[in-house]
Amino acid sequence: MGHLEFITDSEAKTEAIGEKLAKHAFLGAFLALSGGLGAGKTALARGFGRGLGIDDILSPTFSIIHVHEGELPLCHIDAYRLHGENELYNVGYEEYLSNRYVVIMEWPELVLNALPAQRLELCISGSGSQPRRITLTSFGSKHALFIEALKQMGDANADFRP
């Protein structure tokens, strides 16, 4: 289990963390992005999409699953409106666990039993104009590579306070 923390004081810096993570994405990667309303989950997902050459990541609250064609196919899920795991499977979730996609999910805490065991968990705390604390925890060796890669960026992380 790897672990890393950042503090960001702007939406752009939160996006930049997403963008850096995307450079290490692989088919079957699963990012679980938790944090309250307005924490910056979609901002991080937008940066992540940008890192894969995708520029239309929006807050998908009204449609649950959005698939984007980028350097890798990206599935962006917002579980906010779901009432449990069954509803997630009813909108075709199984397909996205197939290792043919990169998956980034907002509100994973609402469908905990549907999360793959191997994943990168990102928790964002803070709201409004406060700085955000972004905590990354990896489960499984493949997902640990995200954390290793970000740790090794050294000076590239000078913007952030780990």
Ligand X SMILES: Nc1ncnc2c1ncn2[C@@H]1O[C@H](COP(=O)(O)OP(=O)(O)O)[C@@H](O)[C@H]1O
Residues of the shown chain interacting with Mg ion in the complex, contacts defined by CB under 5 A: 41-42, 59, 106
Tell which residue, 55, 52, 61, has the closest CA to residue 20: 52
Give CA–CA dist 52/69, Å, rounded: 9
Rounded to the nearest whole angstrom, what is the least distance from the CB of residue 134 to ligand X in the complex?
Answer: 8
Whose structure tokens read 């938790």? 34
Adjacent-strand bridge partners of 124: 134
Which pair of tokens denotes residue 86? Answer: 């069954």
Residue selected from 16, 21, 25, 43 as contacting ligand X according to rule CB under 6 A? 43
Residues listed for the chain? 162
Interaction between residue 135 and ligand X (CB under 6 A): no
Interaction between residue 39 and ligand X (CB under 6 A): yes
Q: Measured from the CB atom, is 36 or 92 closer to ligand X?
A: 36
Q: Measured from the CB atom, is 86 or 125 closer to ligand X?
A: 125
Per-residue burial over 115-138, b = 16 or more CB atoms within 10 Å of its CB, e = otherwise:
bbeebbbbbbebeeeeebbbebbb
Interaction between residue 77 and ligand X (CB under 6 A): no
Closest-by-Cβ residue to ligand X is 40
Give CA–CA dist 107/133, Å, rounded: 17
Rounded to the nearest whole angstrom, what is the least distance from the CB of residue 140 to Mg ion in the complex?
Answer: 25
Q: Which stretch binds ligand X (CB under 6 A): 21-29, 38-46, 69-77, 89-97?
A: 38-46
Q: Measured from the CB atom, is 15 or 106 closer to Mg ion?
A: 106
Q: Which stretch binds ligand X (CB under 6 A): 4-12, 17-25, 89-97, 153-161?
A: 4-12
The alpha-helical segments, DSSP class H, found in the chain are: 11-22, 41-51, 85-90, 141-151
Interaction between residue 10 and ligand X (CB under 6 A): yes
Give the footprint of ligand X on this chain (CB under 6 A).
Answer: 8-11, 14, 35, 37-43, 59, 106, 131-132
